[in-house]
Amino acid sequence: MQKYLPLGSIVRLRNGDTKLMIVSRFPIFENEGEVGYFEYSSCVYPTGIDGSQFYFFNAEDIDEVYFEGYIDIAEEEAQKIFDKERKNIAYPQFKVEKAKED
């Protein structure tokens, strides 16, 4: 089973120096009329959500995990559902590099 970082996890992306806090998993993203998804969306830490400014990325883009968010039984069950249902997502998974190019 693949492990997904819990909400509230603090990470730094490759080639980045800003800490980001994960606020959702498998968010839908529209890029120039094409709809897809990333594994995570985040906001800047420690300032939090500022309007509609979110950062989207996948596990492969994470360079460092500073803190893992809260894990309880509900999170463990969510992990199982994510692992089982991911293959059923109807949209393509976007890559950070492609989204930057467009």
Query: Is a pLDDT exceeding 80 seen at residue 1?
Result: no
- Whether 78 and 71 have beta carbons less than 8 Å apart is answered as no
* pLDDT tens sequence across 18-27: 999 999 999 9
* Spatial distance between the Cα atoms of 62 and 24, rounded to a whole number of angstroms: 15
- The pTM is what? 0.90
Say which range, 9-23, 40-54, 67-81, 86-100, has the weakest mean pLDDT: 86-100
**How is the chain split into domains, by residue range?**
10-101
pLDDT interval class at 100 (50, 70, 90): low
* pLDDT tens sequence across 22-64: 999 999 999 999 999 999 999 999 999 988 889 999 999 999 9
* Spatial distance between the Cα atoms of 84 and 102, rounded to a whole number of angstroms: 31
